[in-house]
Amino acid sequence: MKKWPLIHTPLPGPKARKLIHQDRTYVSPSYTRYYPLVVEKAKGLWVHDVDGNIFLDFTAGIAVCATGHCHPRVIKAIKKQADLLLHMSGTDFYYKPQIVLAKKIAHMAPGKGSKKVYFGNSGAEAVEAAFKLARWHTKRELNLAFYGAFHGRTMGALSLTASKTIQKKHYNPLVPGITHIPYAYCYRCPYNLSYPECELGCVRWVEDTLFRTTIPPEEVATIFVEPIQGEGGYIVPPPEFHREMNKIAKKYGILYVADEVQSGMGRTGKMFAMEHFGVDPDIIALAKGIASGMPLGALVARAEIMDWEAGSHASTFGGNPVSCMAALATIELLEEELMENAAVQGNRLMDGLFKLQQSHECMGDVRGKGLMVAVEFVKDRNTKEPARTWRNDIIKHAFRKGLLLLGCGENSIRFCPSLTVNTAEIDKCLSIFDDVVRKIAG
Ligand SMILES: Cc1ncc(COP(=O)(O)O)c(C=O)c1O
């Protein structure tokens, strides 16, 4: 490992170049590729491209490969299940992996009382299902969601999303009845207040202004919220934010729906990020890290909320048996050691970034929990002018140095490695990042 990352061709290399050319011809141009990485195989945190270059992966395939790429125990579970049953459809038939996984998730989810689980194939599907379930259960038509939120790209999930206009351009009209409100983005407070003197003005505004002027609270079905905003910039709200917002929800019979698609499954050092905030959501949406890369989405809700009838919602592929067995192996690994590792290594990563922040003026804010960590780049620490070009150039240059990173928000870089990351890998990432930031914005 000492000699890795290993970059021995120009990037992209000759094989990658050919494949990218074909991709441009045949694959949808709607995807967002930051840099020309063509992956052949991967193990742990190390990704090999088609030309034999080896990269240190601090993206985990967009916060998905919780147990590292191709963890042997996950692969074993997948192979074993693939020999038995690939598909039957949990919509119309029963099979054990789906039932066992539902029981596991229902018991894991925070909060008292019995829970039930619905399975889909992706984050957007989990959100879509949560949206529909809330409407079914409450018979209410209005919803609150947050600016900066990303909940997915299907029409319902997209309607809740308020991250970038390109995601919505030409897709209107979307699902009506959704009001977006400001998130507790304290580094750039939308109300120009400072925490804690603000006494959470952003939460009070919902009850004091919104519910008094335009939105009758008894018509609101959900407050849809990411415990820590993901695509929006890995924004961690103040400790009381969710508790206070949830209090308002409870007061008016509104369901508090936590989109834990990115923040869940141990990434923040707890199984569900909402546990950091002491809130038991009414509904939780899960995907990404749940099955270490196999497609699976899930929503878990209290049994009395999941009162929809047969035929009201389902998916042919949802709860695929191979994905369910991958999820069970993933959860076992998270509970054994990886969740704790996420907390320990996350602290090391944050400490390292705080140190680098002292010598790099452009690192305006360092924030996160566990292995959900971001740096926000600014041109000037006083004006906080966003440094978008620096951010983009740093990501591209890190790739050339063998470190895979992704952006989030307008001007931030996220660090979301697999939960198997070790000390040497954290230190290697920090050292490459330091060099790259110095070169681009030093
Ligand atoms: C918080 C959150 N919700 C939903 C989604 C959508 O998930 P998917 O891309 O699997 O549909 C994402 C994806 O990034 C996400 O981060």
- Lining ligand 1 with CB less than 6 A are 122-124, 127, 150-152, 226, 230-231, 259, 261-262, 287
pLDDT value at residue 2:
63
What's the number of CA atoms in the CB half-sphere (13 Å) around residue 258?
30
Q: Which residues share a beta bridge with 225? A: 258
User: ∠ CA(58), CA(374), CA(244), 5° rounding?
Assistant: 130
| Rg from Cα positions in the chain | 22
* Residue closest by Cα to atom 10 of ligand 1: 123
Cβ count near 46 (within 10 Å): 19
Q: Which of 122, 231, 261 to mutate to test the pocket of ligand 1 (most atoms within 8 A of CB)?
A: 261
Q: How far apart are CA 361 and CA 384, in angstroms?
A: 11
Q: Which of 125, 236, 288, 408 to mutate to test the pocket of ligand 1 (most atoms within 8 A of CB)?
A: 288
**CA 2–ligand 1 middle distance (angstroms):** 34
pLDDT value at residue 405:
98
* Residue closest by Cα to atom 16 of ligand 1: 262
The structure tokens 């018979």 sit at 139
β-strand pairing of 363-369 with 46-49: unpaired
**CA 51–ligand 1 middle distance (angstroms):** 30
| Structure tokens that stand for 372 in this block | 């959900």
Ranges under pLDDT 50 in the chain: none
**CA 261–ligand 1 middle distance (angstroms):** 6
pLDDT value at residue 442:
83
**CA 124–ligand 1 middle distance (angstroms):** 6
**CA 12–ligand 1 middle distance (angstroms):** 28
Q: How far apart are CA 297 and CA 289, in angstroms?
A: 10
**CA 285–ligand 1 middle distance (angstroms):** 10
**CA 152–ligand 1 middle distance (angstroms):** 5
pLDDT value at residue 1:
55
**CA 127–ligand 1 middle distance (angstroms):** 8
Can you say how many angstroms the Cα of residue 286 is from the centroid of all Cα atoms in its chain?
A: 9
Q: Of all atoms in ligand 1, which is nearest to the CA of residue 153? A: 11
Look at residues 365, 368, 371, 354 and name the one whose alpha carbon lies nearest to residue 434. Answer: 354
Question: Across all residues in the chain, what is the average pLDDT?
Answer: 97
Listing DSSP states for 254-300 in one string gives: -EEEEE-TTTTTTTTSSSSGGGGGT---SEEEE-GGGGBTB--EEEE
The answer to pTM > 0.95 is yes
pLDDT value at residue 3:
85
* Residue closest by Cα to atom 4 of ligand 1: 151
3-state secondary structure of 307: coil
pLDDT value at residue 252:
98
pLDDT value at residue 227:
98
Contacts with 21 (C-beta within 8 Å, 6 or more apart), sequence order? none
Q: Of all atoms in ligand 1, which is nearest to the CA of residue 152? A: 6
| Structure tokens that stand for 14 in this block | 């000759």
Listing DSSP states for 11-56 in one string gives: SS-HHHHHHHHHHHHHS-TT---SS---EEEEEBTEEEETTS-EEE
The amino acid sitting at 386 is P
